[in-house]
């Protein structure tokens, strides 16, 4: 299948620019195509289009808006095979994972479109001839920025929430994985979203974010990505008194209690760890296992890691693809080397695979000291440090000791212990006896330095709405 012809999408038109950057296939290191990079003039045009698009879209009756968004979801579902192939080519994840991602985001769009119908205000009983009401309205044009690890999922969460709420949006998707975003925007355009309501740009990240956030017409900033970049963008938005949504990184602890089934826990944890080669914000990344079940857990986890088939995500039977870029490959090598230098042992994996592409073996580390970088820095790759504990309070202290709080996981057979984990773990997303990630029916988001604001569920649409209190004195 031919890789998409990449363009910006501004004011209902597909636009080429004078600058571009190569897009690499992470499994082969070959060039797939070239992504156009927006100039400041392109960005200004996108903002002006978003202003006009907002007026058109917000005044489109909710039933018509919803129907258009459902048509977009239908088109995306029909093209799931194609979009998945594009995604695997540019990001590396196995084709089945990619296709599942496309199907999930089509469902997320349908959910948000329907949930926007329920963004009710309310009438408040008041005295005399005054009618007191609360109304919800779209915040206005949105600037959104998304990463490369979920080429369909991350852009769609921003587009679905904003468009369902009645906002327009200028979205900068990743220059490393632009094809999936282009295919998704094509579905919206063909479904009938009016010109200017949805604009897609690519460009130099710092240049684009600085320009869009400073634009007076932009009313809200939405970002998914690393903590350092999130802090920078939040500061820029704050300087302009603009609200922002920040879904930032984490370092998700997994606590396996003494009464847990260690084999079952290990299999579920290992599956979640190596999905998308560990390049998931909510990926389990620190495994704290009670000494009573540590050895059984370790054996089962290692067996699961060694059973993973690493290869080109387009090949049949592959269960883990390459890392998405050479930066992640270098980061894995450095994290493992640091841990080993501090006394950790590599049980399996620990090195780059000897083949073209950005492949790194599923890796399990033991005897990892608390000051090893892999214990305090989000690995964002297929490296799993497993350490024992003897006291649950101590494990909770270790789990909460980092400044992150996106996701956390716990395994126990005891309802009482489960409640202790639920109340004790500092995270915005928590799963007990499995390692479930984000779902479109419920809110997702972090605490502490993992960000603020929610995506998914009613909260995901509410994030793009403002609340207006109206006091209406009735007169003859």
CB 179 within 8 Å of CB 2: no
Q: Which of 187, 212, 183 is nearest to 49 (CA)?
A: 212
Q: Which of the following is catalytic: 175, 176, 247, 426?
A: 247
CA 455 to each of CA 11, 157, 413, 446, 462: distance values in angstroms, whole numbers, following the listed order = 26, 7, 30, 10, 9
- The CATH number that domain 8-248+450-471 falls under is 3.40.605.10
Residue 154 reports pLDDT greater than 80:
yes
Residue 476 reports pLDDT greater than 80:
no
pLDDT mean over 307-325: 98
Across all residues in the chain, what is the average pLDDT?
A: 97
pLDDT in tens, 2-54: 999 999 999 999 999 999 999 999 999 999 999 999 999 999 999 999 999 99
pLDDT in tens, 416-430: 999 999 999 999 999
Higher pLDDT, 234 or 127: 234
**3-class DSSP state of 456:** coil
> Quick one: what percent of the chain has pLDDT higher than 70?
100
Q: Both tokens of residue 285? A: 């990344």
Backbone angles phi, psi at 329, to 5 degrees: -60, -45
Pairing of strands 122-124, 130-138: antiparallel
pLDDT attached to residue 171? 98
pLDDT mean over 399-411: 98
Q: Which of 357, 361, 407, 353 is nearest to 384 (CA)?
A: 361
| Predicted TM-score of the model (pTM) | 0.96
pLDDT attached to residue 308? 98
* Architecture field, domain 252-439: 3-Layer(aba) Sandwich (3.40)
SS3 content of the chain, % helix, strand, coil (to 5): 40, 25, 35
Q: Which of the following is catalytic: 167, 187, 257, 281?
A: 281
Do 252-439 and 8-248+450-471 have the same topology in CATH?
A: no
pLDDT band at residue 155 using 50, 70 and 90 as cut-offs? very high
C-alpha 9/C-alpha 86 separation (Å) is: 18
Domains of the chain by residue range: 8-248+450-471, 252-439
pLDDT in tens, 91-150: 999 999 999 999 999 999 999 999 999 999 999 998 888 999 999 999 999 999 999 999
Q: Which of 307, 289, 310 is nearest to 94 (CA)?
A: 310
Q: Sheet with 407-411: list strands edge to edge.
A: 345-348, 363-366, 383-389, 284-290, 252-256, 407-411, 429-432
**Whether 441 is catalytic:** no
**Whether 187 is catalytic:** no
Strand partners, 145: 172, 223
Residue 1 reports pLDDT greater than 80:
no
């Amino acid at each position: 299948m031919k890789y998409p012809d990449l363009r910006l999408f501004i004011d209902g038109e597909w636009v080429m620019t004078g600058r571009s950057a190569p897009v690499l296939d992470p499994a082969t290191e070959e060039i797939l195509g070239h992504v156009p990079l927006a100039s400041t003039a392109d960005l200004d045009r996108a903002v002006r289009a978003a202003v006009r698009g907002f007026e058109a879209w917000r005044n489109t009756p909710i039933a018509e808006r919803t129907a258009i968004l459902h048509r977009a979801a239908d088109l995306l579902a029909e093209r799931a095979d194609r979009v998945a192939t594009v995604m695997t080519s540019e990001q590396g994840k196995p084709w089945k994972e990619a296709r599942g991602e496309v199907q999930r985001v089509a469902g997320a769009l349908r959910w948000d479109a329907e949930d926007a119908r329920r963004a009710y205000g309310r009438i408040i009983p008041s005295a005399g001839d005054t009618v007191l009401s609360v109304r919800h309205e779209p915040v206005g044009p949105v600037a959104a920025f998304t990463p490369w690890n979920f080429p369909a999922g991350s852009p769609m969460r921003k587009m679905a929430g904003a468009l369902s709420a009645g906002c327009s949006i200028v979205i900068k998707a990743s220059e490393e994985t632009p094809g999936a975003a282009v295919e998704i925007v094509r579905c919206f355009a063909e479904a009938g979203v009016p010109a200017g309501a949805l604009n897609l740009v690519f460009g130099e990240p710092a240049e684009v974010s600085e320009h869009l956030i400073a634009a007076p017409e932009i009313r809200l900033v939405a970002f998914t990505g690393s903590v350092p970049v999130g802090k920078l963008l939040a500061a820029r938005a704050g300087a302009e008194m603009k609200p922002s949504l920040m879904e930032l990184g984490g370092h998700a602890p997994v606590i396996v209690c003494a009464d847990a089934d260690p084999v079952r826990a290990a299999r579920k944890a290992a599956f979640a760890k190596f999905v998308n080669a560990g390049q998931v914000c909510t990926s389990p990344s620190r495994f704290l296992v009670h000494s009573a079940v540590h050895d059984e857990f370790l054996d089962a986890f290692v067996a699961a890691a060694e059973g993973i088939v690493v290869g080109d995500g387009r090949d049949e039977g592959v269960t883990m693809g390459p890392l998405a870029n050479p930066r992640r490959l270098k980061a894995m090598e450095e994290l493992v080397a640091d841990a080993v230098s501090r006394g950790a042992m590599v049980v399996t994996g620990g090195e780059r695979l000897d083949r073209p592409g950005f492949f790194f073996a599923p890796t399990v580390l033991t005897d990892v000291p608390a000051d090893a970088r892999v214990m305090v820095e989000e690995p964002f790759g297929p490296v799993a440090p497993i350490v024992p504990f003897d006291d649950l309070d101590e494990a909770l202290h270790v789990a909460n000791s980092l400044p992150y709080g996106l996701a956390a996981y716990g395994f126990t057979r005891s309802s009482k212990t489960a409640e202790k984990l639920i109340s004790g773990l500092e995270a915005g997303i928590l799963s007990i006896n499995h390692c479930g990630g984000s779902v479109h029916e419920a809110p997702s988001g972090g605490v502490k330095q993992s960000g603020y604001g929610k995506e998914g569920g009613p909260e995901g649409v509410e994030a793009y709405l403002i609340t207006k209190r109206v006091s209406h004195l009735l007169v003859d």
